[in-house]
Structure 1
Amino acid sequence: MAGYRALTDVYEWLIPDQKLTPDGAVSAVGDLVRSLPPGARVLDCACGTGQLAVGLAALDLDVVASDASPGMVRRTQELADQEGVSLNAFEAPWDELPDHLDASTFDAVFCVGNSLGHAEGASGRQSALASMARLLKPGGRLVLTSRTWESIRDAGTRTDVWDRLVRRNGRDAVVMYQWEIAATWEQEHHLQIVVAQIEPDGTVISGSERLSIWPFRYDELTKQLQAVGLTTHDLTFDPDGSGYKVVAVRE
């Protein structure tokens, strides 16, 4: 997995308003967080700019944050320092996590923000899930969120321009997604993301990045979770929805 280099410093324009703060990010997974024991050890293994990891650390949990993008790890540590919380943040792709962390030591692992689609194909996704499962204690839970790739593929190659300006820190931006949908599920797809920031004088500064994606069907994901020893307990999949959450437990 690689990417999120050009977008690292403008990534907040891509985060939904309700998840833009550490408190908001935690609220999105609040039921699970409230069920964790005091001081639980948790891993956010696609930490992005750190809202969820920092929010969890603010609850006095033992938080580890990782990302394959060094820029994202930097921003997570900066946010932790800004909020005055302690966590361990480091750069690693999913398949290298067992090289850095002890097996069977985490109460919960989070892989949110539609990140799993960046794992390279079915084999890369299986390897990523196996690494996450290995880190969980028996009874520990893996929390995944994903786009509904079935509907993404059905809509075909296209350009989506967000229907409103996004405001961050007193500045506005237009966000555009250009989807390149391959002929088959197994092929590499691409998503070009453009963030066009509007300066006070009316000029526009744009940044963009072309990301690789390997989409997957919902039923394929559940089979792969089962194959690495996880049982799905909480599912929000709706074939007509834009995304869903899966909570899977290591038995």
Structure 2
Amino acid sequence: MTSYDVLAEVYEWLISDAKSTPPEFAAAFADVTRLLPANARVLDCSCGTGHLAVGLAGLGMQVVATDASAAMVRRTAELSEEFGASVRTVRADWEELPDHFDDATFDMVFCVGNSLHHAVGARGRRAALESMSRLLRRGGRVVLTSRNWELVRARGSRLDIGDRLVRRNGRDAVVVYRWEIAPQWEDEHRIEIAVAQVDASEQVLVRSELLSCWPCRHDDLDVELRRAGLRTESSTFDPEAENYTVVASRI
């Protein structure tokens, strides 16, 4: 599985301006979090640098944040301390989640940031979704975000260079994506992501990581959710949009 240990140090440059703080990140999911009971138990199982987990904790939820990357878990713990948020952090990949938590522990599970496509193939996605499903109480919901892989594959292998500087923590950077699109859907695809920071002396520091991913079609994801015991309640999928969100409930 992809580590993200290098990109963990610069991941904030990959987060959109609209979600650049924990409160803003949590607010982006207000349409689903308003469905939760008071003091809800929530799992962010692809927590990244912790913006969503810390934002949810700020709303009074009991939050657990997990990630396969030890560096991401560390950054989440640091952000939690910075904001004075109560977030439990655990390093675990999706298949390890049932080793750490009892079945039906959570009211909602988040898997956002286009994370699921890093699971290895259809088998890996099924295992990840089954783990999330097991940890949800009956009627609880999983919230997923995904790239529109139909669009990504249609554009083919390419180099995407950001057309503007992105400012985070008083520093500017340019973000570059290099896409290696495999011939078949089920084959391993690769994305190299580079963050080129420009410091005050105009020196450029580049951090990059080559990530593996296994995309799936929107319709296939719906089938895999059902097989994991989850019923799709809503989807924002649009053939022309870059990303979409799926909300599915535990049957």
Q: What TM-score results when the alignment is normalised by the length of structure 1?
A: 0.99
2:40 counterpart of 1:33? no
- Write the distance in 2 (CA, Å) between the matches of 1:96 and 1:3: 15
Counterpart for residue 81 of structure 1:
81
2:213 counterpart of 1:195? no
Counterpart for residue 51 of structure 2:
51
Counterpart for residue 209 of structure 1:
209
Counterpart for residue 14 of structure 1:
14
2:184 counterpart of 1:156? no
SS of the aligned residue for 2:233 comes to strand
CA offsets, 1:11-48, max 9 Å, x none? Answer: 11110011111111111100111121001100000000
Counterpart for residue 119 of structure 1:
119
The count of residues paired between Structure 1 and Structure 2 equals 251
Counterpart for residue 129 of structure 1:
129
- Write the distance in 2 (CA, Å) between the matches of 1:167 and 1:244: 25
- Write the distance in 1 (CA, Å) between the matches of 2:2 and 2:196: 22
SS of the aligned residue for 1:140 comes to strand
- Write the distance in 2 (CA, Å) between the matches of 1:135 and 1:175: 35
- Write the distance in 1 (CA, Å) between the matches of 2:214 and 2:111: 16
- Write the distance in 2 (CA, Å) between the matches of 1:29 and 1:197: 30
2:210 counterpart of 1:231? no
Counterpart for residue 103 of structure 2:
103
Counterpart for residue 72 of structure 1:
72
Give 2:130's aligned amino acid. Answer: A
Q: What is the Cα-based RMSD across aligned positions, in Å?
A: 0.7
2:28 counterpart of 1:4? no
Counterpart for residue 249 of structure 2:
249
Q: What TM-score results when the alignment is normalised by the length of structure 2?
A: 0.99
SS of the aligned residue for 2:167 comes to strand
Alpha-carbon shift at residue 163 of structure 1 (Å): 1.4
- Write the distance in 1 (CA, Å) between the matches of 2:144 and 2:21: 19
Counterpart for residue 170 of structure 1:
170
- Write the distance in 1 (CA, Å) between the matches of 2:119 and 2:225: 14
Give 1:82's aligned amino acid. Answer: E
105-114 or 198-207, larger mean C-alpha shift: 198-207
Give 1:161's aligned amino acid. Answer: I
1-10 or 104-113, larger mean C-alpha shift: 1-10
- Write the distance in 1 (CA, Å) between the matches of 2:220 and 2:206: 37
SS of the aligned residue for 1:113 comes to coil
SS of the aligned residue for 2:138 comes to strand
Counterpart for residue 221 of structure 2:
221
- Write the distance in 2 (CA, Å) between the matches of 1:178 and 1:2: 16
Counterpart for residue 179 of structure 1:
179
Identity %: 58
